Structures are given as C-alpha cells and as structure tokens.
Copies of this chain bind each other. A is one copy, B any other.
Amino acid sequence: MKISFNNDYSEGAHPSILKKIVEKNLESNIGYSNDDYCKQASKLILDEIDCPTSKVHFFVGGTQTNFTFIASVLRPHQAVICCESGHINVHETGSVEATGHKVISTPAFLGKVSIEEIDKCVKHHQDEHMVMPKMVYISNSTEIGTIYTKKELIDLYNYCKENNLYLFVDGARLGSAITAKNNDTTLKDFAKYCDAFYIGGTKHGLLFGEALVINNIKLEEDFRFIMKQKGALLAKGFLLGIQFKELFSNKLFYNIGKHENEMAEKIQDAFVKKGIELYINSQTNQIFPVFNEKQYKKLEKKYLFSVWEKIDSKRIITRFVTSWATKQEDVDNLINDINDL
C-alpha cells in the first residue's frame, strides 16, 4: 500500500466532522438545506466574514457550484473571463459552456489572471457580433498552489466594478490559501472584494460540500430555483449544515489549513535542500517538484503522487498534495527518502 500524496480528497472526513454526522444520524431534519444546521452553519460563516447581508448556499461539489452560479448570473450572450489554467476552462468538461456561456481564457501568470490581459479582452469585445464579458473567475489558491495578495484582490475587484464585471472566486482550496505563510487576505476580504466566492469543504476535511457566499445581493434572486434545476439541492441538505457548522467551530477551518500547509512546507523544504527544482514555489498544500526519470521512479514505488506535465524526455513536473489527513510520520518517511534521492 503506497502512502498517498495524491490529492486532498482521498480520505473521508476530519474525525471531528464525521463524529457530528454520527451523533446526529437518527435525528429527523427538514430536507433541502432548510434545516437548522444549515442555518447555524450560515450564521457561523457570516459571523466569520463579518458580513451579515451575504447569503450562504451549500453545494455538494465544486464543478456544480461553479456552473450553477455562473448560469444563474449571466444572460445568454454574456461570457466569463478566466486565465488559461482556470479550472472551469480546462477541467470541468465544458460545464459552463453546457449552460450556454463562453469561457474566454486569458494568459495565466503563475496561475493567476492579470488585469492588463483582462482589460485587453474587455476592450476587444465591443459589439453584438461578439460575446459580452460580464464576469471574472479566479481560483484561490490557484490550480498550481499560488495565492492572490490582498492588493491584487482589491485591484481586481475595483477593475471589475469600473468595468461592470462580476468577480467570482472559486475557493475549492480557500482554506489552504488563507492560512498560507505569506498570505495577507482574510475571509472578510472575500466578503468585501468579490461578488461571490465559495469555501471549499471537499478538499478541506468534509465528506463533501462547498459553501457559496453571495455578497452581491442582486445575484441572490431566485437562486435556489437554479440550484434545484442543476441538481444541486441535496435532499439531506442537513448533512452539509452539520459539516460546515463543525468546520466553523473551534477554528477547525483554520487548523486544517495550517496543518496541510505545514506538512507541505516541510516536504517542499526537503526538495529544495536536496537541490530538486520546483516548478513553482508554493506556500499552500500543493507542491510541484521537477524530477528526472530516476528520481521519479524511486519515489513512485512507495508514494502516490501525480504527474503534472512532462517538460521533455528528461524532466517531469509532479504534484504532491497534503491534507487534513496527512500524517507527520508519512511526511517524515518521505523526507528521508527525498534525502536519499
């Protein structure tokens, strides 16, 4: 049995979350997230972001959250801008296009959008023969583990507001981003500086679940209709409430993030010390060492991790991911083996 650094959704739930599910198992609750746990979890999140006017909706998965929100907000001719590596552009099987909307991709810089490139794109789309850009989508942390600074976020939001665009933040790994060493954003910032964002649970200690927070209250209208239509109203929605309530109790959200980032940092440091190249210098729970064939084969025997991209016949970018479930001893073992490479 290999030790897995494959991703952050390989195990069940953080024990204290699973414990709550077990405790409440025989309780009767109302369906479709109309229950008390969802209300309490919403309250905890709204307190945390200090924005009582925002609204929280609980989803099962990230792809579903992305296309449901985008489809709810855009009119048929409107498009969403994201950078080339954006998850909706690449890894969601055209789910946004399947709801009728073009995803316009702009060049990515360390996995992030650039206002300059967005502006070129906006200026290029001028009349009714072209789609109308109406939303900017970013992910934080990004698909390659980088994070947005507070200044970047504010600048982007200001640009969006000046140009009549919505800003939407995919936070599938927001918990890791917000607890990263060099991070200067807080959940409160995401309440202030975007129209909507979601807090990923699936990759952050829940069995499943994403909490979409809609700050721009105009975008809230009839939202649950669209959720139901897209298959996104979970019958036993209270399971989402129970889990998010626990995640936002006792700092668990932050503690999980800190743990996964610490584990990742140790591993990354070991790679650096060993002189192994990094595709990117990460502060979050995904790290990207570049191996030669021999290094790859050696580690691959004992550990599960993924090939990100083959640069050429000699060099392979790989990805190691840590999570709430990553054990110190497994990290220690890995570091020993890195030292022996």
Contacts and interface: CB of A to CB of B under 8 A. Distances in A.
Interface of A: 4, 6-7, 9-13, 15, 18, 21-22, 24-31, 60-64, 67-68, 71-72, 75-77, 79, 90-95, 97-103, 128-132, 202-203, 207-208, 222, 224-236, 239, 304, 325
Contacts of A233: 61, 63, 128
Contact of A236 (B97, B101, B208): B208
Nearest to A14: B25
Contacts of A30: 6, 10
A228 B128 contact: yes
Contacts of A12: 21, 24-27, 236, 239
Contacts of A6: 28, 30
A103 B79 CA distance: 13
A213 B24 CA distance: 31
Contacts of A239: 12, 207-208
Contacts of A10: 28-31, 236
A129 B25 contact: no
A165 B95 CA distance: 21
Contacts of A203: 235
